Amino acid sequence: MRKQPTMTAIAILSAGFYVLQALPAQAQTYKADDIVKHFQPATPQPGPSATRGLCIGTEADCNKAGHVVKPAAVAAFDLVVRFKYNSDVLEPDARVNLDEFAKALKTPQLASSSFMVEGHTDAAGRPGYNLDLSERRARAVVRYLSERGVDTSKLAARGYGQSKPVVPDPFSGDNRRVETRLKSE
């Protein structure tokens, strides 16, 4: 025979659930080495007709000879730079990640790379306002990195407003963020 749960057991489970909900979410942090590894050029993947031979000549000559080598694309890197609602002010945990990003950008591996700094918002508010807010967020990150000695000629700030949510709920605070990606020009 199966026993019914007692009211005490239900109360304990309910209390545990509310305690878990009340705990603050841990901010994700990165180290400069993690960032450098993420953005380092991937080992080029040979095309289907490529051989193991060495091609000496221009890229066009080698492509004609079947030595097509395409580098793998590098995904965006979410800096975990989050913002409060209707704000472009960097929070303390965002500054920690940006300090590490600044260190990474000054390493020899990334010193010659250029990056897009892309601001985003949630869907609360008018699209035009959100576009402006996302641009201010991206510029706030670039300004902060500049204050840390990063060459801003290697950074291009761009806002996307609410057009690229990262989670299915367009109103989620997770969408208030800045991401970076290697500039592909």
The CATH number of residue 168's host domain is: 3.30.1330.60
> Which residues 6+ apart lie within 8 Å of 135 measured at CB?
119, 157, 158, 159
Is residue 149 situated within a structural domain? yes
Does the residue 66 lie in any domain? no
Q: Which long-range contacts (CB under 8 A, 24 or more apart) does 40-44 make?
A: 40/109, 40/110, 41/71, 41/74, 42/71, 42/72, 42/73, 42/74, 43/72, 44/69, 44/70, 44/71, 44/72
Residue 6 within any structural domain of the chain: no
The answer to the question of residue 61 being in a domain is: no
**What pTM value is reported for the model?**
0.66
**Cα(157)–Cα(14) distance, integer angstroms:** 46
Question: Does 11 map to a domain?
Answer: no
Structure token pair of residue 78: 């979410």
Over residues 29-48, the pLDDT tens digits come to 767 777 777 676 554 444 44
pLDDT tens column, 53-65: 556 656 666 666 6
79 found inside a domain: yes
